[in-house]
Structure 1
Amino acid sequence: MLLILAATIASAAALSITAPKALVLSSDGSQLRSESLVNPPSTPITLHSTDTLKLTFTVQEKDQGVRPHQTFLRFYDADSGEEGIQPVRVSASGKAKFDLNMARPPLSLPPTTDKPIHVSLILGSFTHPPAKIYLFDLVLPESQPPPQHPDEASFHVLPEIQHTFRPEQKVPPKAISAFFAGLVVSPWLVLITLYSSVPQKLTHIGSPNILGFITLLAAFETLLLWYWVDLRLGQVLLYGALLGSLTVAAGNRALSSVAKWRVGK
């Protein structure tokens, strides 16, 4: 069957067109230009935004009108490589008519510039060799960019995020750190020195009230160190309030014990 079909196509005459004609009409119906397309016109056909192009022709085989299985107009921009294909209806007698209204252009048109595009006719048939016929050059109004959607910018590629890191924390010299560390510990050194200078009173200083007061003072120092390492300000205020109330009570008892000891002495 394939061989028979191939032989039939080879023996069939090529398709051609007769009486091709192009008319350019304005919006009020007046004729602006008329061209016979037996030979391509020397100058491009120009359409404005309100003009209409009417194209007519007849498809024939051996002086007899035929209807191809497929008939297309091809609009091709040689500079950009863009093209558009528009189907054309052909009657059983081979007559065809196509209207291009620039007030409502078909979506098949490629994007246009101020340069002409090539318009060709493509004929396809199961029983005839295919044909491609160049018709004319066409200048159309330049394509307008589509309106920008309000959310369009959200779908564009965003610039790469550049992280700016804080510089390394500056540490004071070791000598200054040691000086202030000694300044913080100095009250404890003074306290120990005073205790050692009065050994005859150690028995009274070792009383539970005084030892409790000193222990709470050491707890305050530990709380400040813990705050510097891990705690937050709210936690320090809470723990400090609890320690403060206990320290005040223990201090009063310690002072009372010392006062009783001095009176008894």
Structure 2
Amino acid sequence: MRFTQSFAPALLLLAGVAQATSWGFDDGSVSVVAKRAGDAGSKERFTSKTLVTKPLSLGSTDTLKISLTAKDNGQGKRPHQAFVILKEKETGLEAPFPLTVKESGKAVASITHKDLPVQFLHSDGPLEASIILGSFGSSKALNAPVFDVKLQKDPNVPLPPYEKPVRYGKKEEIHHIFRADPTSPPKVISIFFALFVLATVPVLFISWIFLGANLNHLSKAIGAAPVSHATFFGSILAMEGVFFLYYTTWNLFQALPVIGAVAVVTMLSGTKALGEVQSRRLAGER
């Protein structure tokens, strides 16, 4: 069952606008039928203009029965829309209960506690009952309050749980808790890989000896292009320094601009330094 706070106006809109004729009812009555033997309950009569004076008491095991004869311009007829609407006065929450209507207009409806929404069972005030009658065509629809119902709860039976639904609106301020910055790996692992890298340095020098590296050309290279060779070698050391700072203290946004600048210097100085080496090789120097 679906409940809205604007059910009755929607029914009236479907029923059509007011013209010459209108819907009404006769023989309206409401009774509370008790399940307990020997309890005759209570019965009241009502019209579209005369309400039941006292609220009806509906116990947890009782049944509320409504009966009437729907009429269109004084003639018994079955409308397209026939409902009993129970409304919580404080919140405006409405629950529709269809009337079973015959062709002659005779209509009945039965309501018990189990048919009611949970919100009604938690309400302390009386519920307002209205009759909704309407149909397609020119006849004016009817929306008439007829009686009030007071729900009686059984103190020995706990009420079903109910939580208010989440509504759109202003909420409490949310304080975000961000994850902690990532930590460095264990020092043992870092030391192991650092020693592994340092161990490649002797391997490099040994490889140079076996491949016939000639250190006598160092003075010639520095003499021919001192700035290019010094800058190229310095840029390589600078790049290693940037990686070290990124590993220890810098973040990515601090390291990237410096890496870009050092890379440009390495490319420009390396082009001239390696060009000088190539020129000596082409001259036959080994």
TM-score normalized with structure 2 length: 0.47
Aligned residue in 1 for 2:84: 73
2:144 corresponding residue in structure 1: 133
Q: Shift of the alpha carbon at 1:26?
A: 1.7
Q: More relative contact order in 1 or in 2 (CA 8 Å, sep 6+)?
A: 2
Q: Which residue of 2 aligns with 1:162?
A: 177
Q: Cα deviation per residue 1:23-50 (whole Å; 9 max; x = unaligned)?
A: 1122236322111123312221121221
Partners of 2:74 and 2:178 in 1: CA distance: 77
1:5-44 matched pairs, under 5 angstroms: 10-12=19-21, 14-28=22-36, 30-38=39-47, 39-44=50-55
Pick closer, same or farther for the CA change 1:108–1:21 going to 2, 3 Å.
Answer: farther
2:161 matched to which residue of 1? 145
State whether residues 25 and 32 of structure 1, in contact with CA within 8 Å, keep that contact through their aligned partners in structure 2.
Answer: yes
Shift of 1:101: 2.0
Q: Is the 8 A contact 2:97 2:109 kept in 1?
A: no
Q: Say which is worse superposed, 33-42 or 116-125, in terms of deviation.
A: 33-42
Q: Is the 8 A contact 1:120 1:135 kept in 2?
A: yes
Give percent identity, aligned residues only: 24
The answer to whether 1:234 aligns with 2:192 is yes
Letter in 1 for 2:161: P
Superposed CA offset, 1:60-110 (max 9, x none):
2455311112111111222112112222121111101100122x3155985
Correspondence for 1:207 = none
| Alpha-carbon distance between aligned partners in 2 of 1:76 and 1:237, rounded to the nearest angstrom | 81
Paired amino acid for 2:125:
K
Query: Is contact 2:87–2:94 with CA below 8 Å preserved after alignment?
Result: yes
Distance 1:127 1:69 in 2: 13
Q: How many residues align?
A: 165
Question: What stretches of structure 1 of length at least 5 have no aligned partner?
Answer: 1-5, 148-156, 167-227, 244-265
Unpaired stretches in structure 2, ≥5 consecutive residues: 1-15, 154-158, 164-171, 182-186, 202-286
Indicate which of 60, 63, 66 corresponds to 1:49: 60
CA distance in 2, matches of 1:164, 1:90: 64
The match for 1:114 among 118, 124, 140 is 124
From the superposition, tell whether residues 60 and 122 of structure 1 become closer, same or farther in structure 2 (CA, over 3 Å). same
Distance 2:199 2:19 in 1: 107
**Residue 117 of structure 1 aligns to which amino acid in structure 2?**
L
Preserved CA contact (<8 Å) 1:120 1:133: yes
Match of 2:12 in 1: none
Q: Residues 164-204 of structure 1, C-alpha deviation per residue, up to 9 Å, x if partnerless? A: 979xxxxxxxxxxxxxxxxxxxxxxxxxxxxxxxxxxxxxx
Change (3 A) 1:240 1:61: closer
The normalised TM-score by structure 1 is: 0.50
Displacement of 1:235 after TM fit?
A: 3.2
Question: Does residue 60 of the first structure (1) align with residue 71 of the second (2)?
Answer: yes
- Structure 2 counterpart of 1:15, one-letter code: W
Deviations 1:214-238 (A, max 9, x none): xxxxxxxxxxxxxx9xx71333676
Aligned 8 A contact 1:23 1:31 in 2 = no
One-letter identity of the residue aligned with 2:35: S
Residues in 1 aligned to 2:66 and 2:127: alpha-carbon distance in whole angstroms: 16
Residue identity opposite 1:44 in structure 2: P
